[in-house]
Amino acid sequence: AQSVTQPDIHITVSEGASLELRCNYSYGATPYLFWYVQSPGQGLQLLLKYFSGDTLVQGIKGFEAEFKRSQSSFNLRKPSVHWSDAAEYFCAVRPNSGYSTLTFGKGTMLLVSP
């Protein structure tokens, strides 16, 4: 069965500093990979996704993520964090065939300090 690990429950970053949120997955083959963001009381918004090809993918709001097959990782990055980025971030995977249920990590809560 596939699984997703987000090792950091909380991360605090100063506004303007860079950000990296970690995500590792366990799956027999290369899955499709996603990052979602959830603001308080809101649903999940898709930030970016990786299906194949270039391992560095760009998303919305200035986020990017890099797929590293050798490390089974799909870390999310942003060069300069804004206060409005404070939210919870979820990494998710799905098989690259068959029907499309998503498996999510437990999330990382990002706090942005002034």
Partner 1 sequence: DTGVSQDPRHKITKRGQNVTFRCDPISEHNRLYWYRQTLGQGPEFLTYFQNEAQLEKSRLLSDRFSAERPKGSFSTLEIQRTEQGDSAMYLCASSHPGTSGERGYEQYFGPGTRLTVT
- The first and second tokens of residue 30, run together, are 């290369």
Q: In this chain, which of 67, 90, 93, 112 binds partner 1, going by CB under 8 A?
A: 90
Stretch that binds partner 1, among 12-20, 21-29, 75-83, 101-109 (CB under 8 A): 101-109
User: Among 17, 46, 56, 111, which residue interacts with partner 1 (rule: CB under 8 A)?
Assistant: 46
The one segment of 14-22, 32-40, 61-69, 77-85 that binds partner 1 by CB under 8 A: 32-40
On the 0-12 / 13-18 / 19+ scale of CB atoms within 10 A, 21 is buried
**Angle of CA points 53, 99, 70, to nearest 5°:** 35
Where along the sequence are the contacts to partner 1 (CB under 8 A)?
A: 4, 9, 32, 34, 36, 41-46, 49, 51, 90, 92, 94, 99-107
